[in-house]
Structure 1
Amino acid sequence: MKDNNANTGHNLLTPGQTAEQLNIPVSTLSRWRSERRELPYVTVGRLIRYRQADIDRWIDDNTINPIE
């Protein structure tokens, strides 16, 4: 059986996996989706998925480095 995520170069995560990675409640992701803000997401039929690359980019964009 082929791993479709490896073939497309996208690692799609569930809202639970994404929330765990960001250490936030799944309900926060749900609210962000309803408000169409913060993280981009993918719909697969009725399923919601998040791309690892988008999560990594969001973390980079929201990282604050102190001025040296």
Structure 2
Amino acid sequence: MTNLRYPTPEDIAKADNLAGQQNNLAGLQRMTRVELEELIQSLTGTIRYLTPVDLSDLIKVPEGTIANWRCQGSGPPYTKIGKRVRYSEADVIKWINAKYRDPAAEVAA
């Protein structure tokens, strides 16, 4: 498995300060894929690509579910390199953040 490292709140705060953005989810949501990959590269020193097995281990979902999501178009964006499927860590983080739900906001609505 690839060594995975999520950006810590300190890393995100550092990146937000560099980008002049507020430290919030909306700021990350507005970033383009390239900007997010550059942010991760600046924080970790590399752009990481995950295999379906890596993604399965990371989000604790069976590989079959990830394959189904891919076929249905409901999972994270992916790249095919030859016959191999790879997920950009930046795309996975952005996809996970897009799934965020605030229960307090849903109850108030």
Q: TM-score, normalised by structure 1?
A: 0.78
* Unpaired stretches in structure 2, ≥5 consecutive residues: 1-40
Partner of 1:3: none
Deviations 1:8-63 (A, max 9, x none): x5311100000111110000110011112221001010000011011111111111
Between Structure 1 and Structure 2, the one with more helix by share is: 2
1:24 aligned to 57, 61, 65, which one?
61
Please name the residue that 1:50 is paired with. Answer: 87
Instruction: Name the % identity.
Output: 28
TM-score by length of 2: 0.51
Aligned to 2:104, the other structure's residue is in SS state: coil
What are the residue-to-residue correspondences of 1:1-68 with 2, within 5 Å? 9-67=46-104
Q: Point out 4+ residue stretches in structure 1 off by more than 4 angstroms.
A: none
Q: Whose strand proportion is higher, 1 or 2?
A: 1
Number of residues of Structure 1 aligned to a counterpart in Structure 2: 61
Relative contact order higher in (CA < 8 Å, ≥ 6 apart): 1
Counterpart code for 2:84: L
